[in-house]
């Protein structure tokens, strides 16, 4: 079989990740070799994203962390909107307003900057937030987003912007110079201790949410904490270590991923049909990279698994 024909056949099966059978049949050593290549491929891609944010943030690592935190704290549908909010209400602005009234003022800036204050039921507290935002927006020249930038339909109650912004305000009221704390995390438990904040009781009341049927949980849960560990903490450790040439931080990022349970999503369930069950997040990130970056775009000629299959097929026939 010619390589061109082999790649054509692979591309036909790419939408259903047909290479899963081959990958499952490899011995542990060779499968680990491919897994390492795919995960580092993913980490390097995420590093490039972080570097772009770092440069756009005036080469400030705290602002970089802040923007990336907003990116991953919310839901994927509102990812760009969260990031734009972080650019309009900057970390240094939040830092200046921390203090006795810090939590109220941070909530006012986040909800006001998000353009969501006017969408909340009017009461004494929301009127206070509006007064605070009126003052702070003039002080810091904050240009609020339009409220219709936020997608609300189809978002799980625990992931909706009102609760996530309240949790972000609680986190930012509690922590300062947070990039240093992120770099120090070595386990999922460390990440949960850092991010497992609780929004004030006010924000869990059914009459103040987009989902009035039930009271929602206020604390960042372990599931969300693991998402932050995988997509934020490990990535920032890897990016900061790469940028500053600190190999120890690269190893720490890998060790953190190995300490986190594997993701359970549609990609992992697809691979499980072939008997592939990742042991931890380091392995599931490899399978996610394979499915979402290579299989989904039929990039078999660039894929480490695809190239290996074709080499074996063509070599065997020679």
Q: By C-alpha distance, which of 87, 93, 139 is closest to 114?
A: 87
- Residues with Cβ within 8 Å of residue 244, at least 6 apart in sequence: none
Give mean pLDDT, residues 286-315. 91
Classify 57 as helix, strand or coil.
coil
Give mean pLDDT, residues 112-130. 96
> Do residues 152 and 277 both lie within one domain?
no
Answer yes or no: is 62 within a domain.
yes
Answer yes or no: is 218 within a domain.
yes
**Last-in-domain residue among 233, 260, 287:** 260
Q: Indicate the pLDDT class of residue 216, thresholds 50, 70 and 90.
A: low
Rounded Cα gap, residues 89 and 87, in angstroms: 6
Give the model confidence (pLDDT) of 11-27 as tens digits: 888 788 888 899 999 99
Tell me how crowded residue 77 is: count the other CB atoms within 10 A of its CB: 14
Q: How many domains is the chain partitioned into structurally?
A: 2
Output the pLDDT for position 225: 96
> Do residues 95 and 221 both lie within one domain?
yes
Six token digits for residue 76: 């994927």
Classify 203 as helix, strand or coil.
helix
Output the pLDDT for position 318: 41
> Do residues 73 and 136 both lie within one domain?
yes
Most distant CA atoms of the chain, gap in Å: 80
**Last-in-domain residue among 260, 280, 308:** 260
What is the C-alpha R_g of the chain? 22
**Last-in-domain residue among 221, 245, 260:** 260
* Statement: residue 212 has pLDDT above 90: no
Output the pLDDT for position 235: 98
* Statement: residue 206 has pLDDT above 80: no
> Do residues 228 and 297 both lie within one domain?
no
Which of 2-11, 57-66, 203-212 shows the highest mean pLDDT?
A: 57-66
Rounded Cα gap, residues 192 and 219, in angstroms: 11
Give mean pLDDT, residues 203-232. 76
Residue bearing tokens 């369930």: 269
> Do residues 256 and 270 both lie within one domain?
no
**To the nearest whole percent, how much of the chain has pLDDT over 70?**
93
Answer yes or no: is 153 within a domain.
yes
Give the model confidence (pLDDT) of 220-267 as tens digits: 999 999 999 999 999 999 999 999 999 999 999 999 999 999 999 989
> Do residues 141 and 253 both lie within one domain?
yes
- Whether 259 contacts 185, CB under 8 Å: no
Cα angle for residues 112, 118, 122 (degrees, 5° grid): 115
Answer yes or no: is 42 within a domain.
yes
Give the model confidence (pLDDT) of 141-200 as tens digits: 999 999 999 999 888 888 999 999 999 999 999 877 678 899 999 999 999 999 999 999
> Do residues 225 and 311 both lie within one domain?
no
> Do residues 111 and 166 both lie within one domain?
yes
Name the residue range of residue 14's domain: 1-46+263-318
Length of the chain: 318
Answer yes or no: is 51 within a domain.
no
Cβ neighbourhood burial of 303 (10 Å; 0-12, 13-18, 19+): buried
Answer yes or no: is 83 within a domain.
yes
Six token digits for residue 215: 């009271």
Rounded Cα gap, residues 268 and 288, in angstroms: 7
> Do residues 202 and 99 both lie within one domain?
yes
Output the pLDDT for position 252: 98
Output the pLDDT for position 298: 92
Contacts of 201-207 with CB under 8 Å at 24 or more apart are 202/125, 202/166, 203/162, 203/163, 203/166, 204/163, 207/121
- Residues with Cβ within 8 Å of residue 246, at least 6 apart in sequence: 240
Q: Indicate the pLDDT class of residue 4, thresholds 50, 70 and 90.
A: confident
Give mean pLDDT, residues 196-221. 71
Rounded Cα gap, residues 189 and 222, in angstroms: 9
Rounded Cα gap, residues 129 and 192, in angstroms: 29
- Whether 239 contacts 222, CB under 8 Å: no
> Do residues 213 and 95 both lie within one domain?
yes
> Do residues 61 and 179 both lie within one domain?
yes
Model-level pTM? Answer: 0.90
> Do residues 212 and 99 both lie within one domain?
yes
Q: Indicate the pLDDT class of residue 213, thresholds 50, 70 and 90.
A: very low
Answer yes or no: is 2 within a domain.
yes
Answer yes or no: is 52 within a domain.
no
């Amino acid at each position: 079989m010619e390589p061109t024909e082999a790649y054509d056949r692979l591309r036909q099966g790419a939408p259903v990740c047909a290479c899963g059978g081959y990958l499952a049949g490899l011995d542990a050593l060779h499968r680990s070799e491919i897994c390492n290549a795919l995960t580092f491929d993913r980490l390097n891609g995420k590093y490039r994203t972080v570097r772009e944010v770092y440069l756009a943030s005036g080469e400030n690592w705290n602002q970089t962390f802040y923007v990336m935190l907003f990116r991953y704290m919310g839901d994927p549908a509102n990812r760009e909107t969260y990031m734009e909010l972080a650019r309009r209400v900057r970390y240094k602005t939040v830092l200046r307003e921390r203090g006795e009234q810090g939590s109220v003022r941070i909530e006012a800036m986040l909800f006001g900057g998000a353009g969501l204050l006017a969408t909340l039921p009017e009461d004494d507290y929301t009127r206070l937030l509006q007064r605070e935002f009126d003052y702070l927006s003039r002080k810091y020249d904050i240009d609020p987003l339009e409220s219709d930038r936020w997608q609300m339909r189809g978002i799980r109650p625990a992931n909706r912007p009102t609760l996530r912004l309240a949790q972000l305000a609680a986190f930012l009221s509690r922590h300062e110079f947070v990039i240093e704390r992120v770099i120090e995390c070595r386990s999922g438990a460390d990440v949960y201790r850092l991010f497992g904040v609780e929004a004030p009781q006010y924000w869990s009341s059914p009459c103040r949410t987009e989902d009035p049927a039930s009271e929602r949980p206020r604390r960042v849960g372990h599931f969300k904490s693991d998402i932050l560990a995988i997509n934020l903490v490990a990535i920032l450790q890897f990016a900061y270590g790469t940028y500053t040439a600190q190999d120890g931080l690269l190893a720490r990022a890998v060790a953190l991923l190995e300490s986190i349970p594997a993701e359970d999503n549609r990609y992992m369930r697809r691979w499980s049909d072939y008997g592939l069950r990742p042991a931890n997040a380091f392995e599931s990130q490899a399978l996610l990279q394979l499915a979402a970056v290579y299989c989904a775009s039929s990039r078999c000629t660039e894929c480490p698994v695809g190239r290996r299959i074709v080499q074996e097929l063509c070599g065997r026939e020679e």
